[in-house]
Amino acid sequence: MSLPPLIAAVCAAMLLLGSAGPLRAQTSPPAISIAVSRAAFRQGETFRLTLKASDDLKSTTVRFAGRTWPLYATGPRTWLTILGVDPTMPLGKQAVTVEAVTTSDVVVRARREITVTKVAFPSRRVTFDPAIQKLVTPEAVARERHAVQEAQRVRHPDALWEGPLLVPVEGRISSPYGVLSIYQGRVSGFHGGTDIAADAGTPVKAAGRGIVRWAEAIPLSGNTVMIDHGWGVLTAYMHMQEIRVTAGQRVEKGDIVGLVGTTGLSTGPHLHWGLRVNGVNVDPMPWAK
């Protein structure tokens, strides 16, 4: 008995589908997206980059300002990093690129452009007493670098601080961030932090919650404390008269970490307050607003 034409056509189509194997769902290719918190920022400032992926990733590389940057997981298939530049960063449009490899070995890429704008940093001339100037030796410089490297060797993967940072001590800003420093008549580079003049013995407070990574004297910075606040954010407190914390100690915002002094390469009582973000010296004052 012959089948009606419509039924026969449906049966033929089903036979053809069956002979071609089971149907497979169409899947979209893996992708990543990046967002930046600011499209333009000034030398010495920072911005956040957020990365989201449609698939699981086994590796990621963030490139900006001629180097790679770490990423910190903040949720399922979501990461964050904080990028910053110092006064030596070229001006104008700069590319931020991300390359990721999925667990299926598929390479995906994303790119954004940001604009770096100029800051008219002032200059300062400082003449040290011969006894203080003798502190500046290749060995002393190497010791300083070692201390900073040690303080950054372990970076807490989570953000430990909340809200704006606390300015560690009240006083007059005697030298802001970014000042071109001329020591003994020779250019020595930009000032990597903010100097706050205050009476010797004034308590110095932690700018935010964190873990002390360094708490001892170094030749040029004197009695120094460095605190890891997570996500690569590290604050430094230098030239202190006395240190009141120990390495590995957890501190809360406002805890006393030391006393203002004039140790190391210093011409008078003050606190050098520094901020490093994933290895780059940036201006700490915008973080306190």
**pLDDT tens profile 108-122:** 999 999 999 999 998
In percent, how much of the chain has pLDDT > 90?
Answer: 76
Q: Please report the domains of the chain, with CATH numbers, ordered by start residue.
A: 32-117 (2.60.40.1930), 123-288 (2.70.70.10)
Residue 184 pLDDT: 66
Average pLDDT of span 28-44: 91
Residue 18 pLDDT: 42
Residue 20 pLDDT: 42
Q: Residue 181: in which H helix or E strand, if any?
A: strand 180-183
Name the band, by pLDDT with cuts 50, 70 and 90, for residue 125.
Answer: confident
Name the band, by pLDDT with cuts 50, 70 and 90, for residue 5.
Answer: very low
pTM given for the model: 0.87
Residues 6+ positions from 262 with CB-CB distance below 8 Å:
200, 222, 239, 241, 268, 269, 270
State the average pLDDT for the chain: 89
Residue 27 pLDDT: 58
Span 169-201, pLDDT tens digits: 999 999 999 998 887 667 678 999 999 999 999
Residue 133 pLDDT: 75
Name the band, by pLDDT with cuts 50, 70 and 90, for residue 64.
Answer: very high
* Least-confidence region, from 5-9, 139-143, 157-161, 174-178: 5-9
